[in-house]
Amino acid sequence: MAVTLRNTLPDGGTIDFPPDLPISEHADEIAEAIASHQVVVVAGETGSGKTTQLPKICLGLGRTRIAHTQPRRIAARTVAERVADEMDVELGNQVGYQVRFTRHTTSDTALTVMTDGVLLAQISHDRDLRAWDTIIIDEAHERSLNIDFLLGYLKQLLSRRDDLKVIITSATIDTARFSAHFDDAPIIEVSGRTYPVEVRYRPLETQPDDPGEPVEAIDQPTGICQAVTELSREGAGDILVFLAGEREIRDAADALADLVLANTEILPLYARLSAAQQHRVFTAHQGRRIVLATNVAETSLTVPGIRYVIDPGTARISRYSSRTKVQRLPIEPISQASANQRAGRCGRVAPGICIRLYSEQDFQTRPEFTEPEILRTNLASVILQMAQARLGAINDFPFVETPDRSQINDGLRLLDELGALRSGHHDTPRLTRVGHQLAQIPIDPRMGRMILEGARRGCLREILIIVSALSIPDVRERPSDKRDEADGFHRRFTSEAALQTTLSAVDRFDDHRSGDWSTIRQRETAQAAVAATDAAGQPLRHTVHTGTRPVKPAQRANSRGKNHRDAGRDQHTQGQRTRGQHIRDKESTSPSQGIDDGGDIMSIVRLWHYLRHQRKAMGSSAFRRMCRAEYLNYLRIREWQDLHSQLKRIAKDLKLRRNDEPAEVGDIITALLSGLLSHIGLLKTSETRTSARRKGARPGPREYLGTRGSNFAINPGSVLAKHPPELVVAVELVETSRLWARNVAAIRPEWVEQVGSHLLKRSFSEPHWAASSASVVANERATLYGVPLWTDRRVNYGRIDAQAARQIFIRSALVERDWRARHDFLRNNDAVVTQAQELEDRSRQRGLMADDQALYDHYDQRIPSDIVSGSQFDAWWRRQDDKHLLDLTVDDLIEPGAVAVDQFPDTWQVGDL
């Protein structure tokens, strides 16, 4: 069907299609397909213009409520800016964008570019997505978790929304799968105007002059420098280098700086950079530019002017370990499809050259496509949203590729751990009250659980600060060439004393503001570090500027009211403590090990209060300069503050009460524990380190026994790394070269029990009668996912095995008389037993008197079955009318007539005696 595209919007703004973009000549064909079909798949290489022009085609068709998803926040913002600029409209009016907690739109916005996570979150309150008449799922070939879920959800939704248009965009990768998923939807391929690309293979090795000599490997930065040198001889043009992460980008930048390349600018590009830094790669420039980028430049963004690409062939791939239940970030070889995507970046403006730092044989053995994220991640968030939207059985959901059952089970287990699922409904998950609340908090379910527990424990104010910080990149920066200096500034937040001294130093600085900020701050930082310890090198315990109270040595399990006492009370224990009841449970004596300092977690709270103090004390420009001088990222601080404000509003909407009074550190860490129960670890013994020292080897970091048999070490940057506590919880466990724990805090076993009692595995040994407490007790051993919490805690055995406890009570307390009670029947029965023993002695016959079993049976037949302790017996006996119910008689112990008393007189006469 023929359609006519409008070229203006009713409220202003022009719609035209740049002739230099390959998609422009297909605009009419695409418009006709969209008008004729509910779903259209548009395939084209990155740079073809599909991301920016497709929404304009939809606007030209008269669609006025368009949701355009992007897999990354940087892309959502950049695409919106680009489309608004092309249409000559102000960003935020007809064209806007929305990312997590940031919305730049109005009620009149016709096109909203958003992250796919934002659209996913809308399902919980707009099940049929009525807010939109058109949905564009961009970069679908990336097959992220959110994209795959949205594609499955939209397939179900289309039958209920025949007015809805769905456009799927993809690179020319496996487009037939998307078409088949939507019942053979039409595919329109946009062939790009590309130039030929020459691929050169340069493995990271040196070729010896003598063929008989072994090949020597070279490192990646050296290989990149050699490739740059080679490309520099090929003529003018910018170079795009793909790298696995920020550290690799820094290493490459340092190596390239040593080359002293003339008229060359080196720019990094990765998601954590500020918007201004990211925009630098799109600006006009003179000379050559070398862009060092993560795979954000592979598909999401088109870097202009690229003629050469250097591809080391690796990327950090998020991968979930079903064994350790940890999300790993290993560096892995990329797929052939990703390698071809990278090579295609250099054929846009002229013939290009791509240098691959691996062999052609290596390339040929790689998988054709990158494995979809849904097959390599934890599914808890998706299951939570599915349950909230009442989408039915997980196995019936139309995923593009159905995840493995083990992955589904792991997601269900995590939600069980968080208390989000009702028991017995795993095939069709049903949410608890906690689960429904978690589904309304648009962050990781673990973090959401911390917020809910923080409200229950009276520490929501502090938890919101911590969770908002943990949900964004760290605001603290550690440049590779100034790490020691940066660490010096950041160390001020590791204890309350150091912070107090720092704030005093700030006040002194106010008196001489004309001085150089950086120099003064360095001197004050050194003074703060010294002042934070006493003469013995121990931390000074002072006041709290963060508004939190340290853990008291004898802090009660909970002090926030009946509900918290009930939640924290062990259902088995009488509250008695014995030596050795906890695994190496002792107070720390090392400076950074004390539980009351809160480890890395409370450093975040101290940093927050420090920044608030500073922001109030100075103007905006001065605050920016301070952040730069103290290695704090100003834009991330703003993001932290914005996210904190958003979470506060969400907490208010959920009617979660924020505490006015300062919270105790123990309550704060326990609230965090509620979402991190599988992230605890117990310090291993030091035998291995001692052995290593004897052999002259340098021992590595102390290792922890983690859950499910895992082993991890505290990240070297943690304040607890040098003095590891016995028991810790980590916000994040990430596997790179080894499994590292990041953002760590010391914990106590009873804190784990307060929020994880339903997950503990308990075993009991040596049940016995304890006369001092008049109860049957046993030694309890408790583990959480294999991590021992205590081995010999004394507990009330009557609540564990009432029948066995009753037997021990009767036998020990009543039969063996190991009970200091003053009941009349006990005195009577003692006398009767003595009398029966005397009769047996007089008869000089053993075995006449009934044994202990007869005494046991006497009590067993008369005492109710639920009496298992002295206190329960006393309460029952006070209500008993017949006070002779338990009295014994001699006939109960010796058969009547068994002893002829007259034949065994007490005395007899012999002659005159």
Beta strands in 352-398 (DSSP E): 352-356
Note the pLDDT of residue 527.
42
Q: Quick check: 238 and 291 in contact, CB under 8 A?
A: yes
What is the bridge-based pairing of β-strands 739-746 and 711-714? Answer: parallel
Q: Quick check: 104 and 29 in contact, CB under 8 A?
A: no
Tokens at 601, concatenated: 């977690």
Q: Based on the number of CB atoms within 10 Å of its own CB, is 692 exposed (0-12), middle (13-18) or buried (19 or more)? A: middle
Query: In whole angstroms, how far apart are CA 421 and each of 325, 433, 439, 516, 757?
Result: 19, 9, 12, 57, 16
Are 126 and 246 in the same domain?
no
Q: Distance between CA 343 and CA 196 in Å, rounded?
A: 10
Give the mean pLDDT of 875-882: 94
Note the pLDDT of residue 500.
66
What is the bridge-based pairing of β-strands 205-206 and 216-217? Answer: antiparallel
CB atoms within 10 A of CB 497: 21
Q: Quick check: 318 and 329 in contact, CB under 8 A?
A: yes
**Beta-bridge partners for 190:** 44
Mean pLDDT taken over the chain: 83
Residue 531: is its pLDDT beyond 60? Answer: no
Global pTM? 0.68
DSSP H or E run through 549: strand 548-549
Helices (H), strands (E): how many in the chain?
31, 30
Are 703 and 579 in the same domain?
yes
CB atoms within 10 A of CB 76: 27
For residue 167, the domain's CATH number is 3.40.50.300
Query: In whole angstroms, how far apart are CA 586 and each of 559, 684, 707, 723?
Result: 22, 15, 22, 14
Q: Distance between CA 248 and CA 524 in Å, rounded?
A: 34
Q: Quick check: 249 and 243 in contact, CB under 8 A?
A: yes
Residue 480: is its pLDDT beyond 90? Answer: no
DSSP H or E run through 326: strand 326-328
183-187, 351-355, 376-380: least confidently modelled range: 376-380
DSSP H or E run through 683: strand 680-683
19-33, 551-565, 805-819: least confidently modelled range: 551-565
Are 115 and 239 in the same domain?
no
Are 257 and 183 in the same domain?
no
Identify which has the larger pLDDT, 315 or 847.
315
Tens-place pLDDT, residues 632-658: 988 789 889 988 998 998 899 889 999
Three-state DSSP class for residue 816:
coil
Tens-place pLDDT, residues 190-249: 876 568 999 999 999 887 767 767 778 899 999 999 999 999 999 899 999 999 888 889
Q: Distance between CA 265 and CA 287 in Å, rounded?
A: 8
Are 149 and 201 in the same domain?
no
Does 7 fall in a domain?
Answer: no
Tokens at 892, concatenated: 């109960």
Tell which residue, 838, 405, 435, 473, has the closest CA to residue 643.
473
Q: Distance between CA 675 and CA 755 in Å, rounded?
A: 9
Tokens at 335, concatenated: 């797929």
Give the mean pLDDT of 719-735: 90
Roughly how many angstroms between the first and final C-alpha of the chain, as a whole number? 140
Are 155 and 240 in the same domain?
no
Q: Which of 343, 373, 403 is the last residue of a domain?
A: 373
Place of tokens 């054929």: 347
Does 202 fall in a domain?
Answer: yes
Q: Distance between CA 679 and CA 675 in Å, rounded?
A: 9
| 744 phi/psi in degrees, rounded to 5 | -110, 150
Tens-place pLDDT, residues 361-387: 999 999 998 888 888 888 888 888 888
Are 365 and 230 in the same domain?
yes
Q: Distance between CA 312 and CA 206 in Å, rounded?
A: 16
Residue 487: is its pLDDT beyond 50? Answer: yes
| 811 phi/psi in degrees, rounded to 5 | -70, -45
| 156 phi/psi in degrees, rounded to 5 | -70, -35
Are 181 and 151 in the same domain?
yes
Does 246 fall in a domain?
Answer: yes
Note the pLDDT of residue 561.
38
Identify which has the larger pLDDT, 521 or 866.
866
Give the mean pLDDT of 22-44: 94
Are 538 and 608 in the same domain?
yes
DSSP H or E run through 637: helix 634-653
Tens-place pLDDT, residues 610-629: 999 998 988 888 998 999 99
Tens-place pLDDT, residues 309-346: 999 999 988 777 665 555 667 788 999 989 998 998 88
Does 265 fall in a domain?
Answer: yes
Does 593 fall in a domain?
Answer: yes
CB atoms within 10 A of CB 651: 21
Tens-place pLDDT, residues 882-897: 999 999 998 888 766 5
Tokens at 847, concatenated: 């075995």
CB atoms within 10 A of CB 860: 16
Tokens at 142, concatenated: 């990336």
DSSP H or E run through 834: helix 824-843
Give the mean pLDDT of 720-727: 92
Tell which residue, 84, 144, 143, has the closest CA to residue 113.
84
Q: Based on the number of CB atoms within 10 Å of its own CB, is 740 exposed (0-12), middle (13-18) or buried (19 or more)? A: buried
Does 434 fall in a domain?
Answer: no
User: HSE of 80 in the Cβ direction (CA atoms, 13 Å)?
Assistant: 31
Residue 139: is its pLDDT beyond 60? Answer: yes
Are 298 and 152 in the same domain?
no
Tokens at 554, concatenated: 């004898």
Tens-place pLDDT, residues 440-473: 887 889 999 999 999 999 999 999 999 999 888 8
Note the pLDDT of residue 577.
38
Q: Quick check: 623 and 638 in contact, CB under 8 A?
A: no
Give me the number of domains the chain comprises.
4
Does 852 fall in a domain?
Answer: yes
Tokens at 546, concatenated: 């963060």
Q: Which of 316, 340, 373 is the last residue of a domain?
A: 373
Tell which residue, 141, 3, 161, has the closest CA to residue 67.
161
| AA identity, residue 834 | T
Q: Quick check: 143 and 370 in contact, CB under 8 A?
A: yes
Does 457 fall in a domain?
Answer: no
Q: Which of 357, 373, 389 is the last residue of a domain?
A: 373
Are 553 and 509 in the same domain?
yes
User: HSE of 148 in the Cβ direction (CA atoms, 13 Å)?
Assistant: 22
- pLDDT-derived band at 554, boundaries 50, 70, 90: very low
| AA identity, residue 602 | M
DSSP H or E run through 608: helix 599-617
User: HSE of 467 in the Cβ direction (CA atoms, 13 Å)?
Assistant: 36
- Sequential DSSP letters for 397-427: S--SSPPPHHHHHHHHHHHHHTT-B-TT-SS
Range of the domain at 50: 22-190
Are 233 and 312 in the same domain?
yes
